[in-house]
Amino acid sequence: MSSKSFLGIFGQNAEARAELLYHQGKLERAAKLYRKAGNHRRAAAIFAESGNHQQAIESYRQGNEPAKAAELLEKAGDFDAAASAYEEAEEWGKAARLWERAEDYARAAELYARVERYAEAGQCYARSNQHDKAGEVFARAGNHPAAADAFLAAESYLQAGEHYLEAGNTAAALDALSSVEPAAADYSRACQLLMPLLIEEGHYDQAAARLEPLPVAAGLYWRGRLAEARRELQEARRLYQQLVREHGGYRDATRRLARLEERPEPEPDAVARRPAAPPAAAAGREPTLAELVPTAAALADLPFTITGEIEPWWPGCELCRAEDRRSQGKRLLLVVPLSALGPEVEAFRRAAAQIQALKHPSVLRLDEVYLTEERVILCYEPFAGDLLSRQLAGPWRPTPNAALHLLMQASEALSAAHKLGLVHGWLSPRTILIDDAEQIRLIGFGLERLRPAGDPTTVAYRAPELRRDLPPAPATDMFSLGLLGVELLGALLPADWSRGRIEPEEVRWPEGVAELAGDSLREALVRCLAREPIERPSAEVVARTLNALGLMPGQVLQGRYEIQGELGRGGMSRVYRAYDRVMAEEVAIKTLLASALRHPDEERRLLREVQICRKISHPNVVRVHDLGQFPGGVFITMELLDGEGLDRLIRRAAPLPLDEVRRIVQQIALALVEAHRLEIVHRDLKPGNVILVGDRVKVLDFGIARMGAGAGQPNVTRTGEVIGSPLYMAPEQLQGKPVDGACDLYALGVITFAMLTGREPFLGEDATAVALQHLRDAPPDPRELRPDLPPAWAALVDQMLAKPPADRPTAADLARAVGTLPA
């Protein structure tokens, strides 16, 4: 076919003529014609093929494909322009790499942080001399030594000291914290952190000089510790008594007071002396492990120096605090004679790698294992707590809330271990460490075949089947957990409980505990004590039951988010105020209720929420930070908003002034412009999902959003379920049809109607009646309820509430139009 006949067939079809020119080798003319026809992608490809990269880049940009333009710019060596184009395409990581190459470290750092590449972000912040920000992102990455060094370079001595402590480098922490000036706002906090370090090093005068800035209760406690270290036992006793009497809650003071009251008074003329030093200390050198641990004389070659007293953990076993001479960091060592393991040594050797793979915030992390001819030495992360058994030996008992928090941590830890095929076997207060913040660590995984000890309390926690020489199993741990729960909550079991089946009604619970724990948890704990292992619930079930009670004040999620209180709850979720320990700021935490977890799709939906919301970066959309999982479900963290819900404002003050309605509608529309640009549909826009913070409007809860048509994301709702609130749902939503951004404009029309008149356009006795009106009836004229409303307002609301989606304005059109309306 000739060129003439070909052109005759296609007539004025520009793209066909462009393709013909392309096949004729006339690339420049073909590309220009494609661009004129609006096919910028094809034009760009042909321009690139012809070697005209500048025009190719321009065409990709005209076609809203900045990522393609960025690739060409990078190949051409124009790194600054390429980086900017990658930013436009939201390819933050690629942009960061190029800005770093261009030595714009500040810009690179911000973008690396945005994609959570915290190591690179920290390095770039440091290179741009933003050491405080470097410290923050290193902390988010869990790199405490680097965070500490960065904060030190920024002269943020408190933060440096805190992270040196996290890294176990007490010498550097002591130096950093000592550099905090008395006039600094955080001087009191620095003094509190310094107290144990100064007392442990024997710097009593320096410790005494820092008592004055401490809060009253903390001051009493550390005065007592200082008096005790100086062997002024009577003064220490007096201070601890005053602290417990006037302030309460200081568990360590209660424990120390109990020890002092058991200790005989020294003779009046006696000279206070330190305990006799080992031969090494007398010779002016550091004591070795062999000298401080007589049973571990063969371990002198290990790279550790004992720094604290050795606490008996088990007959023949020793738990001691040590310093790692390689890193100067703190460690906990558990020394177990092979004789205590009997023939199970090989089984332990095989399990060692699996134990080290167990990473959970409530399990003491095992870092290294040393195996000698006579002993196993387990090297753990440092932990500043004490054995729970020693705490319970004194007058201290946890509050019911604290007890539930402890059980939650233990059940979650056991659930994680059981999923890896690990069994504890000896769970009891003797194998649980607890700190002053009531965070726990389980210790001793892998030692389930340890030969029984003579301690009757520990043996009592063992499941009955183990006394019949059956192998330990997950159900074994559940018996121990149940008994621990009953003890911590102060319940009384029937006298013959160990001989047969216990009925829940036979257990007596303290006043207030029964209501707090709920029927499900109390029944689960009693079931844990069943004689037959098969009747006991799993750790995951107990953890879910505990989490169904809600998060407790003081509970810490993922070792980072400390719950401060509940802010509210909805049909599927609860919202809490929390403190982010890493970023040192308050956040809101939203969780999916355990009851919703009966449907796995609900968990997938909330997990999707953060993935979707984090794509939206706009001042009128609530900022979402992070997501995480716990046995009770999933949670997201977001900015904490101190404002008023639009639903409350409407109930309180509607009809609202026109200028206020205009401001709110315009800002909601701008939020939707950004969401719809990313093909995100809210699907449940309503006044309850709009927060007013001063003059700023914030839209939240895109959790039930799904990617718009063409995004390729599956619908994760249950079959037949309609998502949304009937008062605000568009007709196409009610009919279960595919939806796009137009359904959000309909919902915004309902919201606008309510703000203007004080009520929604369609009301009924039930959801079905309301839905039928949305489908069949024309909306009422808002001027019937507000006669002075200008006609332009009524016309815009009518357009937003149009039944056909195509008749409604887009979010961008609405944002422009509402700004022109009279106020």
Contact 352, 369 (CB under 8 A): yes
- Tell me the Cα Rg of the chain: 34
Domain ranges of the chain: 13-89, 386-541, 550-640, 642-823
Residues of the chain with pLDDT under 50: 1-12, 249, 264-298, 594-595, 597-600, 704-723
- Burial class of residue 523, CB neighbours in 10 A (0-12, 13-18, 19+): middle
Q: Which residues are CB-contacts of 662 (< 8 A; sequence separation ≥ 6)?
A: 818, 819, 821, 823
Residue type, 456: P
Relative to beta strand 561-569, strand 556-557 is antiparallel
Q: Tell me the C-alpha distance between 23 and 798, whole Å.
A: 53
**Residues linked to residue 314 through DSSP beta bridges, in sequence order:** 317
Q: Is the dihedral of CA 665, 669, 672, 674 positive or negative?
A: negative
Beta-strand ranges (E) seen in 424-560 are 432-434, 440-442, 556-557
Q: Tell me the C-alpha distance between 550 and 521, whole Å.
A: 12
The reply to whether domains 386-541 and 642-823 share a CATH topology is: yes
Q: Tell me the C-alpha distance between 154 and 133, whole Å.
A: 9
For the record, the structure tokens of 37 come out as: 């026809």
What CATH number has the domain spanning 550-640? 3.30.200.20
Residue with tokens 């000279």: 271
Contact 562, 581 (CB under 8 A): yes
Which helix (H) or strand (E) segment holds residue 336: the answer is strand 329-337
Contact 760, 747 (CB under 8 A): no
| HSE-up of residue 667 (Cα within 13 Å, Cβ side) | 22
Residue type, 293: V
To 5 degrees, how large is the angle CA 338–CA 343–CA 347?
90
What pLDDT score does 241 carry?
Answer: 85
Q: Tell me the C-alpha distance between 71 and 637, whole Å.
A: 35
Q: Tell me the C-alpha distance between 485 and 343, whole Å.
A: 33
Domain at 386-541: CATH architecture: Orthogonal Bundle (1.10)
What pLDDT score does 218 carry?
Answer: 78
At what angle are helices 105-114 and 92-101 packed, to 10 degrees?
A: 160
What CATH number has the domain spanning 13-89? 1.25.40.10
SS3 645: strand
Whether the link from the prior residue into 655 is cis, omega within 30° of 0, is: yes
Residue 438 gets the label, from left (phi > 0), alpha (psi -120 to 50) or beta, of: left
Q: Which residues are CB-contacts of 778 (< 8 A; sequence separation ≥ 6)?
A: none
Contact 801, 749 (CB under 8 A): yes
Q: Tell me the C-alpha distance between 570 and 647, whole Å.
A: 14
Q: Is the dihedral of CA 760, 766, 769, 771 positive or negative?
A: positive
SS3 716: coil
Q: Tell me the C-alpha distance between 215 and 681, whole Å.
A: 51
Query: How many other C-beta atoms lie within 10 A of the C-beta of residue 516?
Result: 18
Q: Which one of 3.10.250.10, 1.10.10.10, 3.30.420.40, 1.10.510.10 gives the CATH number of domain 642-823? A: 1.10.510.10
DSSP 254: H
CA dihedral 308, 296, 435, 156 (to 10 degrees): 50
Concatenate the DSSP letters of all residues of 526-544 into one string.
HHHT-SSGGGSPPHHHHHH
SS3 250: coil
DSSP 597: G
State the alpha helices, DSSP H only, in 89-203: 92-101, 105-114, 118-127, 131-140, 144-153, 157-166, 170-178, 187-200
